[in-house]
């Protein structure tokens, strides 16, 4: 990146305009230039392994995209493949990944109620001076899931607590930690509503 003086002359060679040209850098896109090829090479090496989700296995371009997307979220490649889901063209995070990102940012999520009937998630932000925000509480229960038409689905029948936990976590993250989770929905939410 640099700057230079650009002379614009007329037909007689007279200087008609003097312009300072400043090359504009965009870290968010220019930073990819040096990583796209190595990421594509990594994708080609792991394309058929069990570490790649079935939905994108044998699809090097999709693997590359998932890893690059994870890079934007500061996730290493294999973590990206394990925790970023693309459901009908929309990227989403596993609820566990959302919690991990919140904890890594120094914030707090607790579960005062955790059962197959009701899950309550409580979260607070830790400020740079070490103080904490007031807690925000979100509850998801079986009646809410039934009203939303979710309980007939296989995951909800087999793992009601985990599904309630995922819903409560995602809603709490949207309310309190959208900067940490980049405003992404949870994979569980998108799967439930068919994206």
Task: List the domain range (segments joined by +) for residue 102.
Answer: 95-193
What does the pLDDT look like over 129-166, one tens digit per residue? 999 999 999 999 999 999 999 999 999 999 999 999 99
Q: What is the dihedral of CA 148, 179, 128, 68, to 10 degrees?
A: 130
The confidence band for 102, taking pLDDT boundaries of 50, 70 and 90, is very high
Check whether residue 77 and residue 103 sit in a common domain.
Answer: no
Cα 81 to Cα 3, 33, 85, 128, 142: the distances in Å are: 40, 21, 8, 31, 31
Count of structural domains within the chain:
2
Residue 191: the pLDDT is: 87
Residues 155 and 171 in one domain: yes
Q: Which of 46, 64, 89 is the last residue of a domain?
A: 89
């Amino acid at each position: 990146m640099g700057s230079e003086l650009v002379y614009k002359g007329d037909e007689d060679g007279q200087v008609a305009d003097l312009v300072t040209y400043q090359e504009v850098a965009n870290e968010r896109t220019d930073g990819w230039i040096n990583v796209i090829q190595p990421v594509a090479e990594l994708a080609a090496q792991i394309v058929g392994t069990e570490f790649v989700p079935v939905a994108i296995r044998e699809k090097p371009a999709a693997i590359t995209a998932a890893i690059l997307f994870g890079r934007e979220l500061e996730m290493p490649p294999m973590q990206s493949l394990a925790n970023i889901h693309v459901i009908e063209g929309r990227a989403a995070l596993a609820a566990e990944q959302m919690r991990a990102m919140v904890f890594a940012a120094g914030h707090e999520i607790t579960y005062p109620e955790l059962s197959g009937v009701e899950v309550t998630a409580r979260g607070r932000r830790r400020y740079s001076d070490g103080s904490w925000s007031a807690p925000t509480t979100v509850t998801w229960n079986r009646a809410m899931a039934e009203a939303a038409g979710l309980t007939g689905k296989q995951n909800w029948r087999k793992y009601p607590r985990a599904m309630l936990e995922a819903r409560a976590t995602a809603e709490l993250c949207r309310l309190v930690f959208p900067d940490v989770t980049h405003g992404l929905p949870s994979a569980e939410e998108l799967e439930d509503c068919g994206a």
